Each structure stands twice: as structure tokens, then as C-alpha cells.
Structure 1
Amino acid sequence: MTTAVRARPDKTSTTMQLQVKHAPRRIPLNGIKDIAQSASDMLVDVRESMLAPHPRKNPPVFTTAQVGDLCRVDRQRMHYLARTETDLPQGTLRHSRSREFTLEETRVWINRIAPFAKRPVGVKAKTIAIGNFKGGVSKTTTAMTLAQGLTLFGRRVLLVDLDPQASLSALHGILADSEVADEQTVLPLIYGETDSLEYAVQPTYWDGIDLIPASAALFGAEFFLPFKQSKEKNFQFWNVLNSGLESLLDKYDVVIIDTPPALSYLTINAFMAADGLIVPTPPSALDYASSTQFWSLFSDLSQSMQEVAPQLDKSFDFINVLLAKVDQSQAATPIVRDWINKTYESLVLPVEIPTTAVTQSAAAEFGTVYDISKYQGSLKTYQRAREAYDRLAEIVDQQIVTLWLAEAEAK
């Protein structure tokens, strides 16, 4: 009987095969274009699948009770107003005799019925910059949700996306690389081709919000502005955005600017144009350390601006530190929260934005908690997230109204 002898694998050969299998792939510089195209195509597919059956975002709908809550009236009062104020939107009758109201219809009710102060005649919009020099601290989400929340107080809001990553534009269902031309961004203003940003304003899916989108081309501003400043002594690189927004301030109640996560020339323009500044700061050790660097660099910038332009008289109507992405399950959260409160004291807003399954799932679908008409998960979890954003909008709106009234009285 002959026994077959199985050959032992050659370790050297096996190792060589593994090395070949995991060998690095050489990519020439011009090969980056293929990777970028593949990523862009996939993003289009992901967005359209997330927003199916419509490739564009749709605003939420509201029940009669929700409209009543937003208008600060009870259900009985709502039914009475619906019967007597026949020019108010009546909504759409659904099953079980319930009615649904579109966002546009809801805002008509808010503007007519809700007890919110209106912007006084002759008083202009307030501009708010959302800033921090670290990415991932919730700047864009804060800008978007604050804008959405303020519209539910009857405000008309202009959002300005200054981040070349264009995340704020993406939250509106707009893909920067394929759907935003340079002339739709702030670049024509930056390049001196126009003196007003009116050309760049476009409506969005959300009634009450207009947008000036961004694209990767905004990186060009970081080269052009210092170059022009070096050539023209009287040029004020920090005042370009401020001047460009001037003609729009009578048309809106609030302008909110989303800034890049760096002390860039565009960020400086945003800060110089802003009446108020909101700095989202998660209560984690690394984010806290980063925030101290933000204020240090901001201080250096302030001193440099005073040296470059001693005539510059700049002040902020308010500066708010917002505790964002608060994860109560993290052991370090209460410790870092205490650091933040002791460091910034009265600047810290009396509201915290939690990290929840609601916010995470909404972000995964290019949305926010305000985009959700009916949450499929825990109602308590949804309410906790929504109430935090509502409270943020309420606090900011109160600050804005106080400033409006003070300006009106001074005139």
C-alpha cells in the first residue's frame, strides 16, 4: 500500500503570496481624479437613496396639536381660530379626521397667531457666526438647527455657507461638487466682481430659510484676499463679507454664517461681519483643550486687527458658548462640563445639546431633528433632542429681540 506524501507548504512561498496580496498600490497624482469621481458618484447615490422616493429634501408636516404648540395656543383655541379666521390655512384632512399642515402653512399660523415680537421697522437683521477652529464640534448642525428653530418663531433666515467642505449645503440636499457653480458662492464678491451678495441667494426646501451655498472653490479666497491686501494698501480684506451682506439685512431677521474649522480669511470675514458669535464646545477633554486654543488664536487675531486697522471699532452684541454633543454616558462629561462652566462662566448658554440616537440617525440621512415628521423610535428620546434645539432657538431669539427693541428705542 502506497501512502501519498503531502508536500509541506513552503513558508517563504506563503509569505510571498501574502505580501503580493497586500502589496501597496501605486497611484499617480492624476489618479486622484478617479478617486474623487468615484466618491462624488457614490455620494449622489447615497443622497438619493436616503431621500427616496424624492431626490430632494422635503420639509416636515405638522398636526393641529403641533401647530397649536408652536403658536402657544391650546387645541380648543386652534379649532376656534380655524372656524373664525377663514383666511388661515386649513391644512389637509387625513385619516381619522385629523389634519396635517405643511411647513409653509404652519409658518402662516405662527406669523398671524403666535405672540412673538416682530422686527421693528427700520431695524436690520442680526448676523450670527458659528465658529470654532476644530472640526467635528457640531458647528454646521448648530447653524442649520438654529436657523430651522428660528423660523418656527416666525423669523426669516439667511444661511451663508463659508466652509469649502460645504456640509451646510449638503444638509439642504445640495451637492457642492456637482450642483454649485463658483458664481453661486461668495467668490464673485471676494474677487471684487460685485459689491452685494444678492446674486448668490437661493431658496431652500425649508420655508423661511434662504441659502448662499459653498463649494471647494472657496479655498481660492485664502490666496486671493492676502494677495489683494498686499497690492492695495486701502483694501480691507476683513470687511468684504460685511459689505456684501449689507444690502440683504433689511430682507431678513437673522443671518447665520457657518465658518471653516480654521482661522482662515473667510472665518475672519465672518467674525467681522457678525453681531453675535456662538461657539459649540463638546464636553470632552480634547475639545475643551481645542477651545482654549480657539480663544487664544482669536485673541491674537483681535490684537493684530487693531494694529492693522486702529480705526476699527468692532464689538459683539453677544458671545455664547454652547455645550454640544453632550454624551451623558461618558464618565468625563460632568468633569469637563464643570471646567467649561468655570472657564466661560456667563458666556455658557443654559442649554445642552445631547448626543442621541435621534440626532445620529437624522445626520446619517442628511437631516436634523427638525426634518423628522414622525420619529419611529423612542418618543422620549426624540423629545429630549428636539426640546434642546427648541430651547437654543428660544434663547437666541430672545437675545435678538432684546437687541432689536434697544435699537428701536435709541432711534
Structure 2
Amino acid sequence: MCGLTRNQVQYQITKGDGVLPEGHSTGTGRSRSRQFTLAEARTWVQQISDIYQTPLVAGPSEDFEGKIIITSQLKGGSAKTTTTMCLAQGLTLRGRKVLVVDLDPQASLSELCGLYAEKEVFPEATVLPYVYDQDIEGGLLAKVQSTYWDGLDIIPAHTELVGAEYHLPAMQMKLPGFKFWQVLRDGLAPLRKYYDYIVLDTSPSLSYLNLNALMAADAMIMPMVPENLDFFSSLSFWRLFSDVAKSFIRFEADKKYDFVSVLLTRVNYGPTSSAPVVRTWAQGAYRQWLDPFEVPASSVMSSGALAFTTVFDISSTHSQAKSLQRVRQPLVDYCRWVDEQFIKQWRPAQ
């Protein structure tokens, strides 16, 4: 993670300056090793890796604004929520402070973050109170919860998020000049000073809440399974977004994304797979938006034992760790690529 050899790590520890966590020594002789918690590993990355670190390493910064990324897709089963979680985890492993916002009433992302949505999350803990009243005390910052994963916080979801789909259009009709598409962007703006990244997970629809997310985001990631229906569904997304946006986009003439990335997921490399054909279609349709990263399909992640985990949660000693590595590595590479897009903006001019 830091690009150091074992000897270099040991040297840094023996310096004993108290800056870097020493971890926990295990084993004896040649088999002796040193283990670190996630929080300790992230400290090493922040302090000694060659990855550019933002001012947020030292705490909230008035002079810094984090970036908002949305994962969006109309078709279910595209690994959208899993991709969101892996992206968030992968970015924290680069030393980032990340907030995920679950905007899907199914609350799958909240479950991945360790919250049993039906029992542990209430509507008051979601973005819904802010949607109803933008003057609510504490704003969205008051809704943030920590998770089991160091460096990763969440604003969870609840089934009652569907209430936003009735409230926002009603307010649009009731109050002249009310910009329903700007509510979430205004609410998230103060949180940019606390997080390097705010990652929005949306439902597979073009709802009012999702339109808010699309207008709040600085960049968009669209996971897509390279199969016929998934490809045509992705094209439908852009047609629908274009049609719906015509009613308000004239007020947002300066709205641009830093990048749009179509990420192929659950790619089947078998001899009967339709992936090669659909990949060619996607290359023609999306051109520079289609990135070279591909996440292969894996039956391992669908097994019951791993149902509420990601490839970043699995220990290297797990019996299926080797199979998961072929899924993990493309995601590690993709997280690095996403991060580097914004490092170019954050790094001070030389």
C-alpha cells in the first residue's frame, strides 16, 4: 500500500519517533511478521506513501472542497451498489476520508456498511428530513454516521425515502422558483469541507431524488454488465435523462462533469459469453467514456458466506482469497485512476 519493502517498513518502525503506528508483531524467526489494523495502515499511507494527501488528513479545511461522485444505472443487477462500496473502500485505502450517501430506498449500501436497515435505521437518519426542510438544524452533517470501516462514514437509507418523490414535485408546483433539482446539492455543499469524496448510491430509476444526485455530482460512474439488455438499458438512461433535464437544464447551463466513466462489471470471459460483442458496441457508443478497466464475474461473491462483504473485506488467509484477487485488482486499479483524476485538481501548482 505504501510501496515499501518489509525491511523499509521495519526501519521506519525502529526509528521510534512515534509518528507511525508500530502494529503488532507475530510469529518468530523468519516467519515473524507485523500486523496492522485498517486505521494503522491508513495512517502509514497518509504519512509515508507517495500518494498526494489533501489537507483533510489534518481535519476539516475551510480552504478545501471534496468531490461528489455518483454511481448511476437504470438496470438492476449491474453491481452498482457493490461498485459504490468498493470505490469508497478503495479510496480510503489511499488515505482519503469518504462519505457514502445511500439514496436507494432498498438500502443495500446501508446493509453493506453494517447497518440492518429495517431495524437500525429510521427515516429521521436519512436525507429525507433535509428534503422536507432545508432549514433543519445541523443540515445533512447531522445525519452522518460512522461505519465499521475506518475512514468511511455514511448517511443511510430507508424505505420511506420514496416520500421525496411526492414532496419535491409538490413543492415545485407550490413555490414559484423552487428548484427541486438543487436541494441535495445545497445540502451536500457544507460536507465537502469534511470529506475528500462524497459517493452517492442511487436507485435503478430516474427519480426526483436521483435527478438531485445527478445535478449535485462532479463526476459520474455507470457500472454496466456487457450483456445485450444491460447495454440497451444504459442507452435508455441517457435518452431519459436528456428528455427530463430539458425542463430545468436551462437554469444549469454551466453544469458539467469532470468525467463520465462507464465501467464494465461482472464480465464473463467464457467461450459463449456475449461480452466481446457488447464491448464492441459500448466502445462505439461511449468512446472515451468507456474505460479499460473490467471487473470479472465471480461466483465467489454470490456465495452465502460473502453476501454482505466486498472484495476488500476478505482476509488473505480466506480459502477463496486467490479467486477474489482477480476481482479485487481491477477495482484497486480503478480506484487509483479515479483518485488521480482529482489529484490533478487538488495538487498545488508547482
TM-score, normalised by the number of residues in structure 2: 0.92
2:101·2:156 contact (CA, 8 Å) conserved in 1? yes
Offset at 1:89?
1.1
The corresponding residue for 1:160 is 101
In 1, Cα distance between equivalents of 2:166 and 2:211? 14
Q: Which ranges in structure 2 are unaligned for 5 or more consecutive residues?
A: 56-60
In 2, Cα distance between equivalents of 1:390 and 1:165? 27
The verdict on how the C-alpha distance between 1:353 and 1:340 changes in structure 2, with shifts beyond 3 A counting, is same
What percentage of aligned pairs have identical amino acids? 44
The corresponding residue for 1:115 is 50
Q: Secondary structure at the match of 1:71?
A: coil
Offset at 1:380?
4.0
In 2, Cα distance between equivalents of 1:171 and 1:267? 20
Q: Is structure 2 residue 24 aligned with structure 1 residue 81?
A: no
The corresponding residue for 2:337 is 395
Q: Is structure 2 residue 83 aligned with structure 1 residue 142?
A: yes
Q: Secondary structure at the match of 1:144?
A: helix
In 2, Cα distance between equivalents of 1:93 and 1:357? 35
Q: Is structure 2 residue 262 aligned with structure 1 residue 321?
A: yes
1:182·1:217 contact (CA, 8 Å) conserved in 2? yes
1:362·1:369 contact (CA, 8 Å) conserved in 2? no
Larger radius of gyration: 1
The corresponding residue for 2:58 is none
Q: Which of 22, 27, 32 matches 1:95?
A: 27
The verdict on how the C-alpha distance between 1:363 and 1:306 changes in structure 2, with shifts beyond 3 A counting, is farther
In 2, Cα distance between equivalents of 1:322 and 1:85? 44
Q: Is structure 2 residue 174 aligned with structure 1 residue 239?
A: no
Deviating above 4 A after TM superposition, structure 1's stretches of 4 or more consecutive aligned residues are none
Query: Aligned runs of 1:224-373 on 2, under 5 Å?
Result: 224-307=167-250, 309=251, 312-329=253-270, 330-361=272-303, 364-373=306-315
1:126·1:255 contact (CA, 8 Å) conserved in 2? yes
1:375·1:382 contact (CA, 8 Å) conserved in 2? no
Counterpart amino acid of residue 90 in structure 1: E
TM-score, normalised by the number of residues in structure 1: 0.78
Counterpart amino acid of residue 310 in structure 2: T
Query: Aligned runs of 1:199-210 on 2, under 5 Å?
Result: 199-210=142-153
Counterpart amino acid of residue 211 in structure 1: I
Offset at 1:385?
1.2
Question: What is the aligned-residue RMSD (CA, Å)?
Answer: 1.8
Offset at 1:305?
2.0
Q: Secondary structure at the match of 1:197?
A: helix
Counterpart amino acid of residue 101 in structure 1: F
2:168·2:208 contact (CA, 8 Å) conserved in 1? yes
Could you list the per-position Cα deviations for residues 179-237 of structure 1 after superposition, in whole angstroms to 9, with x for gaps in the alignment? 11111100110001527201100100000000000000101000010011110012111
Q: Secondary structure at the match of 2:4?
A: coil
1:204·1:211 contact (CA, 8 Å) conserved in 2? yes
1:160·1:258 contact (CA, 8 Å) conserved in 2? yes
2:224·2:230 contact (CA, 8 Å) conserved in 1? yes
Counterpart amino acid of residue 6 in structure 2: R
1:131·1:278 contact (CA, 8 Å) conserved in 2? yes
In 1, Cα distance between equivalents of 2:237 and 2:165? 19
Offset at 1:118?
1.9
1:260·1:266 contact (CA, 8 Å) conserved in 2? no
Q: Which ranges in structure 1 are unaligned for 5 or more consecutive residues?
A: 1-69
Could you list the per-position Cα deviations for residues 331-384 of structure 1 after superposition, in whole angstroms to 9, with x for gaps in the alignment? 211111111112111101121011113433488430100001135345542221
The verdict on how the C-alpha distance between 1:379 and 1:173 changes in structure 2, with shifts beyond 3 A counting, is closer
In 1, Cα distance between equivalents of 2:310 and 2:46? 23
In 1, Cα distance between equivalents of 2:36 and 2:151? 15
Aligned length: 337
The corresponding residue for 1:104 is 39
1:358·1:385 contact (CA, 8 Å) conserved in 2? no
